[in-house]
Amino acid sequence: MIKTKFQKAKNLGLLSLMVLFVSLSACTAMKNHSNIKTVTVKLSGANEVPANNSTGSGIAVIAYKTDMKIITYNISWTLGSSTATTTNMHFHGADNGSTTTSSPVQIGITGFSKGSSGTISGMTVTLTDAQAAQLLAGKWYVNIHSSTVPGGEIRGNIIF
């Protein structure tokens, strides 16, 4: 019985140390995240320029690593028509970019589902200094093109 109580106390002590270690690790990880900006972006036809009447929608979770100048993303979408196909997807931006203008493609997104809905995660190439400045100034957006709205069915403006 004494041995069992000792083992329980020992296990409780080890568990306490593990919790403390994980807690301290989490604090350190949070401290190191000051170089990461994150935003959740809603994609819709209303955000397109000009706006369209698509009932499609999407969510893009964007994280920008300022020290590495890399975007990581997780994008989920559904087009407005179940018979439509996803034809293209990319990040757009420019020095004069805004929520009310169209801008050129900066970085393409590849490997996405060609169906009417999907989810994709990935990471971009390293942004140039100019691209990084545009992104941080809110001059970039995510755009998803479809077979029914080839100019861009849903768009989400990236504003940190």
The enclosing domain of 120 has a CATH number of 2.60.40
Q: Which sign, positive or negative, has the C-alpha torsion 21, 27, 31, 32?
A: positive
2 or 70, which is more confident?
70
In a domain, 135, yes or no: yes
Q: Is residue 26 part of a domain?
A: no
Cut 0.85: pTM above it: no
Residue 145 lies in a domain: yes
CA atoms of 158 and 160, how far apart (whole Å): 6
Q: Is residue 153 part of a domain?
A: yes
Q: Within a domain: residue 24?
A: no
Q: What is the pLDDT of residue 27?
A: 39
Is 57 inside any structural domain?
A: yes
pLDDT for residue 31: 43
Among candidate residues 119, 49, 53, 124, the one with its CA nearest the CA of residue 86: 119
- Number of structural domains found in the chain: 1
Q: What residues make up the domain containing 106?
A: 35-158
Give the mean model confidence (pLDDT) for residues 57-83. 98
